[in-house]
Structure 1
Amino acid sequence: MKRLFLFAFCSLISAAGFSQAPFSTNAVELLPSAPLPTEIAIIPEPVSVIKQDGHFILPKNVTIQSPANVEMKQVTSFLQERLSIPTGNYVSIVSGHIGDHAQIRLILNDKHNPILGAEGYQLTVKPNQILIRANKPAGLYYGAQSLVQLFPKEIESKELVEHIRWSAPSVEIIDYPRVGWRGLMLDVARHFFTKEEVKQYINAMVRYKYNLLHLHLTDDEGWRIEIKGYPKLTSVGAWSVKKTGEFGNFTPPTADEPRTYGGFYTQEDLKELIQYAQDRFVNIMPEIDVPGHSLAAIASYPELSCTPGAENYRVRSGEKIMDWSRGAPPTALVDNTLCPANEKVYSFLDTVITQVAALFPFEYIHMGGDEAPFNFWQKSDAIKALMQKEGLKNMHQVQGYFEKRVQEIVESKGKKFMGWDEIMDGDLPPSAAVMSWRGMKYGTDAALKKHEVVMSPTTYAYLDYMQADQITEPRVYASLRLSKAYEFDPIPAGVDPKYIKGGQANLWTEQVTNIRQAEYMTWPRGMAIAESVWSPKEKKNWENFFGRVEHHFQRLDIAETKYAPSVYDPIFKVSRSADKQLIIELSTEITGLDIYYSFDNSFPDRFYPKYTEKLTPPKDATMLRVITYRGKQPIGRMMNMPIEELNKRARR
């Protein structure tokens, strides 16, 4: 009710100053076969956008007036860089009050505006001046991000661009986030990403007003954080054998293959990353994933395992170590779990958590808790003795015992404990925060039990999933298309919103070996999640959103940020007729596209047959090639679909 009141009040303020209706809902109708025909294509969609007549033309000499506040350095640096490098203009920063003469004025409100909160802003673009007002520097930073999105796409260039009219439309924007936790998770354990690559990822995420980077720092494939007193975690645990192919099906490494692939962050590296993120109003949350996903730690210190022979374990290089044929929890082929019955484990974790808590100022430490296999525990005499001593009836309660002890350690360091939703199986107290990944149900259940919850469900927010047909994507076990990601609502019906901290998208990197592929998997689905956690629910509109996405594709091209064009690819659906003939149906995720095809091994263009009805391949055809067009222009990728593959799918 409070947010509805603020939204109504915000609308009244806007209506009092301007006669136009809000641009985003009334001013322009989206054409389904073309990008949104407008200069204003901000992502995430602001709360209120009212277009005015006229434009602000960026002068050759620009003065930005900024409050004399240490937190403003990155706000002004960002604007200075974007408004000078591509334009060739001179941009000066003046701190303190110089009257009303600056072309761009950044203003911290003397009196707190309850509508804007800590991260909201008011952006006013007039023909003669730009004003950004906010209660806090974070709001000014987000206002600056929106301002840059109003200038021509070439503003994203890393070098001088000539013969551009550097103008922004006159507009009044009032904006603030829907939820406080707007996160992306980057898995740096499966494949190591350098300090500079993490910074590159941060630079991309803040463009869309994300404020939380979740670093998955430990797993079976690598331990990425220096812990003083346990040097083998990084001298042994951070390195594996370089493999190329399909992760999970690599051949087991031989003893003589060099373990030189990987890396880790020193504590000084992490301090640098934390400061870099904070300067951009991003918190970094560390994750130490235990008790499962701990093979790198066990390979370094075998005494942390319950299982005899752990001294022969090695950091995983992508070979198969789990059997998922019976579902979750998996059956482990090697024991990748810390031993809940071993006091050395809790001493080890106390040291790790002490140093992690000292390094990371963020209030939460994520301690994993997901996908711990039980089959080795079930055979362990130490676990059986623990169960008898503590009155534990099953393996879920064994893990619950472990989680409670880890939570106590975390809280003893002045931090809050968070884990994946499996930790709820152990009946943890409400002070444990839950990150819900197995759909929305577990987060809903946790919120009803008064746990703080971050929603990051596989259904909408797993960025490692395929985003087009598996013949073009790194093959994983599920798909997530852009339109589905855009359906994400972090606040489920029937739950008190005060227990939902926000939402997050997760990029697991088993199949992501470099930063360019990380970008490809994140964008544009990261835009969809950003809008879901920032913009008012009632403002979300798929066709409007995708019109803006197409503008941002052009901006990312100029910024040299990689993204997936998968939304333009056709979707294949197969079935069998009554006489067992293969039936092929083609569709597209967005409207306004035509599909052209061939069965004759040639490459179709718009002069080939256009798809209008279900297809049956000729008797001896071996390949179906398809491509999408918008009007006379090819827009999708050439898709080469073997008929053999379609026959396999029809048999499932």
Structure 2
Amino acid sequence: MKKSISLLLLSLLMIAPSCQKTKEAVNEYNIVPKPNQILPQEGRFELNSKVSLVIPANAPEVKGIADSLAERLKQTAGISLKEAESADGKSAICFVVQEGMPKEGYKLSVTPSLITLTASQPNGFFYGVQTLYQLLPPAVYGNQLDKKANWSVPAVEIEDSPRFVHRGLMLDVCRHYVPIDYIYKFIDLLAMNKMNVFHWHLTDDQGWRIEIKKYPKLTEIGSKREKTLVDYYYVNYPQVFDGKEHGGYYTQEQIKDVVAYAASKYINVVPEIEMPGHALAALAAYPELSCDSTQTYKVSPTWGVFEQVFCPSETTFKFFEGVMDEVIELFPSEYIHIGGDECPKTAWKNSAFCQQLIRQLGLKDDTTPSKTDGIKHSKEDKLQSYFVTRMEKYLNGKGRNIIGWDEILEGGLAPNATVMSWRGVEGGMNAAKAGHNAIMTPNPYVYLDYYQEEPEIAPTTIGGYNTLKKTYSYNPVPDDADELAKKHIIGIQGNIWREYMQTSERTDYQAFPRAMAIAETAWTQNANKDWKNFCERMVTEFERLEVMNTKPCLNFFDVNVNTHADENAPLMVMLESFYPNAEIRYTTDGSEPNKASTLYEKPFALEGNIDLKAVAFKDGKMLGKVAHKPLYGNLLTGKPYTVNYKMGWTGDIFDENDVLGADKTTFGLTNGKRGNNASYTPWCSFGIVEGKDLEFIVNLDKPTQISKIIFGSLFNPAMRILPAGGVAVEVSADGKQYTPVAEKALKHDYPETGRIAFTDSIEFEPTQATFLKVKIKNGGTLRNGVNFEKNNGPEVIPAELWIDEIEAY
């Protein structure tokens, strides 16, 4: 399978103009991220063994960068550059130091006879070389000699420097250990796209992955778990496990080598040591760090947020001081990430020690909302602030600063802390307005564990839906942001949480190509970004990924199916391929599309039920796989509606057209797309109160004949969901007086646990209606701790209703 995927991608990429052999190469500038100033020129610089390499004297770091370029060209092109003191009128690549340029900025001038790379600092030279690589054939990223490639560089004038100083990716190695070889490849991929931060998430509930010599049990015990969850977290209760031990950690020698390698690529490695939550792996090794050392703690085999957290005791602080002493020796980074997210306060509320400490510190519950985030915080929230501030002072004393997730805002922010904003954008904006630096990493855009293509065909992951287009659309600092935000938002980062990424290939698939969209947002000024142009450049980027043995998501070559309805307009079917200038061919009868099938030219109205299949072509060749999406055009399609419950999960309304919040008019229950077993993304959820059925009302605008209702509901007791227990239909001429026309009890055969989508219907004599009301009963009750994971709620609860789609015929 691996081989077939590789061959498929190579065949797709051969369609690209840059791969076609022509007598005279057309100048292309497929650079990712896009340079902020680029002026194409005519002609090309031919690389051969007559070319000289001119390096400034007394600049050993610059010489190292130039030598790495020479070594790569020798390895991949078989070209040996000759070092010289000056170009002397001959073909040459010259490295020139010019004071006063931005630290990471560079200028690249390419003429048919001379390449000049100018910068002030080694960082700038390094990024200039990355741009030069991307002007060369993708083979330059390989390890084999390729004499057939066109080893020339298009003439160009580039002046470039980054938008943000922090341009990063976070890699979680705790949920699943990552082999050390992949860490090096990951760093290479960061460097290729001018990212400068590798955030290494090293400790969590599921594993402690860094050797600490003072506390050997952290790796002897804390790096291993006895088993791992199978399937999605909420599919089964009790949960199902694989029965296999999972473990691994990085020795201090390995870490030193990784840090040195990253530094050679001008990448700063920021370690993350979680506190005060996400503590189970450490507590399994040293239970005295908890609020109840009589308990037995185990490294967690499953995911989630756990109440067992570090106790803010002197024992714990001494432990962390010892850990940080060794971390500081391993990582020269100015910043140490201390986590701070998802820390339940239950253990602290129940701890006599913590409550005494709260009184001793004079901490009290807020009586008015905080000026920073507008929330009233508890005294336990403020105890977390005390914890974080104390560790910050210790690290400040060692010459380091801290970064924490946006929860460190709660209860008061540590004085010099930088906030990493993940729960949307508010945390980062609030921190910036309070004068703190912030790094934007909002999950609706840059969480790379989210789905990026149709969940029905994608590997199981955490949920959500962030397409490449949606990720690219994010702007960390809007043009109308206030001056404090513009000053203090210092960067952007993508996060790769690996609960469902058991292998390196799965990590590749989730991270790429969306990481390239993040890289461009981080480097390129927003005014210079252009989605269509990005896609044009990405065709060659996929070639580079193939050469680097990276297995990205290939949705770029497929067709995405969306629906959209403007106000008082029919529901339209929208087809899109990210591949530039692709032809989309489609069928609506379930047959396989080919190059003679109907050409998609513009959105078309959904009329009746169709079995849509679509595929993208370029120059007569099929690019990707066939997209398949049955769509259900009916009397309700595209119409707004009201419900008598607040929706929790709102269906895929906010992901329509791949830009967050762009489409407010297409509603999850009437968008022509039915829910499925694969994920929660398309469903609309309702927390039902006993004795109150869900009521769904639609204004049909005119008297309309109706004789049948179809709707879907979900079975998933581990998520507190049962399928509908009954349905009733009422009609009205004025929206005030409703007449019942049909009612039906529903029964479903289902197992003890799992996730199944059911489709139900109710038929009745043809009836005229201007207003339609569909009343849906929930499927009964569920038992706390029997049908779903035990919590502090009632022993028996009404099951939630998750509905999609509601159709009328």
Residue in 1 aligned with 2:694? none
Quick one: distance in 1 between partners of 2:248 and 2:70?
Answer: 34
Residue in 2 aligned with 1:550? 539
Residues 425, 35 of structure 1: alpha-carbon distance in 2 compared, 3 angstrom cutoff: farther
Residue in 1 aligned with 2:475? 489
Residue in 2 aligned with 1:14? none
Deviation at 1:605, TM superposition (A): 2.8
Residues 320, 553 of structure 1: alpha-carbon distance in 2 compared, 3 angstrom cutoff: closer
Once the two structures are superposed, the pairs formed by residues 52-201 of structure 1 within 5 Å of their partners are 52-67=41-56, 68-72=58-62, 74-93=64-83, 101=90, 103-109=92-98, 112-113=99-100, 116-201=101-186
Residues 586, 309 of structure 1: alpha-carbon distance in 2 compared, 3 angstrom cutoff: farther
Match of 1:373 among 333, 336, 344: 344
Contact 1:132–1:143 (8 Å) recurs in 2: yes
Normalised to the residue count of structure 1, the TM-score between the two structures is: 0.83
Q: Match of 1:480, SS? A: coil
AA matched with 1:485: T
Contact 1:213–1:282 (8 Å) recurs in 2: yes
Deviation at 1:609, TM superposition (A): 5.2
By relative contact order (CA 8 Å, sep 6+), the higher-ranking structure is: 1
Match of 1:636 among 609, 612, 624: 624
Question: Cα deviation per residue 1:60-107 (whole Å; 9 max; x = unaligned)?
Answer: 34432223433235412431233222222223456x667565621112
Question: Cα deviation per residue 1:295-318 (whole Å; 9 max; x = unaligned)?
Answer: 11111111111146532x22122x
Q: Match of 2:48, SS? A: coil
Q: Match of 1:426, SS? A: coil
1:417 maps to 2:388? no
Question: Cα deviation per residue 1:206-262 (whole Å; 9 max; x = unaligned)?
Answer: 111111111111111111111112111111111124547435358889999453x22
Q: Tell me, which stretches of 5 or more residues in structure 2 are unaligned?
A: 1-14, 19-25, 366-377, 633-672, 677-681, 683-711, 713-802, 805-809
Q: Match of 1:288, SS? A: strand
Q: Which has a greater percent of strand?
A: 2
Normalised to the residue count of structure 2, the TM-score between the two structures is: 0.68
AA matched with 1:443: G
Deviation at 1:374, TM superposition (A): 2.4
Residue in 2 aligned with 1:388? 359
Q: Match of 1:285, SS? A: strand
Residues 174, 643 of structure 1: alpha-carbon distance in 2 compared, 3 angstrom cutoff: closer
Quick one: distance in 1 between partners of 2:107 and 2:233?
Answer: 49
Question: How many positions carry a matched residue from both structures?
Answer: 592
Residues 153, 535 of structure 1: alpha-carbon distance in 2 compared, 3 angstrom cutoff: same
Residue in 2 aligned with 1:364? 335
Residues 74, 516 of structure 1: alpha-carbon distance in 2 compared, 3 angstrom cutoff: farther
Match of 2:447 among 438, 462, 482: 462
Once the two structures are superposed, the pairs formed by residues 4-83 of structure 1 within 5 Å of their partners are 38-67=27-56, 68-72=58-62, 74-83=64-73
Deviation at 1:133, TM superposition (A): 1.0
Quick one: distance in 2 between partners of 1:107 and 1:509?
Answer: 43
Residues 527, 243 of structure 1: alpha-carbon distance in 2 compared, 3 angstrom cutoff: same
Choose 141-150 or 244-253, whichever is displaced more. Answer: 244-253
Query: Cα RMSD between the aligned structures?
Result: 3.1
1:267 maps to 2:264? no
Larger radius of gyration: 2
Match of 1:613 among 604, 623, 638: 604
Residues 610, 373 of structure 1: alpha-carbon distance in 2 compared, 3 angstrom cutoff: farther
Contact 1:222–1:296 (8 Å) recurs in 2: yes
Match of 2:524 among 535, 558, 564: 535
Residue in 2 aligned with 1:12? none
Once the two structures are superposed, the pairs formed by residues 404-443 of structure 1 within 5 Å of their partners are 404-443=389-428
Quick one: distance in 1 between partners of 2:238 and 2:292?
Answer: 20
Q: Match of 1:306, SS? A: coil
AA matched with 2:29: I
Contact 2:51–2:90 (8 Å) recurs in 1: no
Deviation at 1:346, TM superposition (A): 0.8
AA matched with 1:588: E
Choose 56-65 or 143-152, whichever is displaced more. Answer: 56-65
Residue in 1 aligned with 2:308? 336
Contact 2:338–2:404 (8 Å) recurs in 1: yes
Question: Cα deviation per residue 1:496-515 (whole Å; 9 max; x = unaligned)?
Answer: 33322222111111122222
Q: Match of 1:464, SS? A: coil
Contact 2:202–2:208 (8 Å) recurs in 1: yes
Q: Which has a greater percent of helix?
A: 1
Match of 1:471 among 431, 453, 456: 456
Deviation at 1:642, TM superposition (A): 7.2
Residues 73, 348 of structure 1: alpha-carbon distance in 2 compared, 3 angstrom cutoff: farther
Contact 1:35–1:547 (8 Å) recurs in 2: no
Contact 1:489–1:533 (8 Å) recurs in 2: no
Question: Cα deviation per residue 1:582-636 (whole Å; 9 max; x = unaligned)?
Answer: 9893432647445445677654333445566345676xx9x76443334632223
Contact 1:468–1:569 (8 Å) recurs in 2: no
Q: Tell me, which stretches of 5 or more residues in structure 1 are unaligned?
A: 1-32, 323-331, 577-581
Residues 52, 337 of structure 1: alpha-carbon distance in 2 compared, 3 angstrom cutoff: same
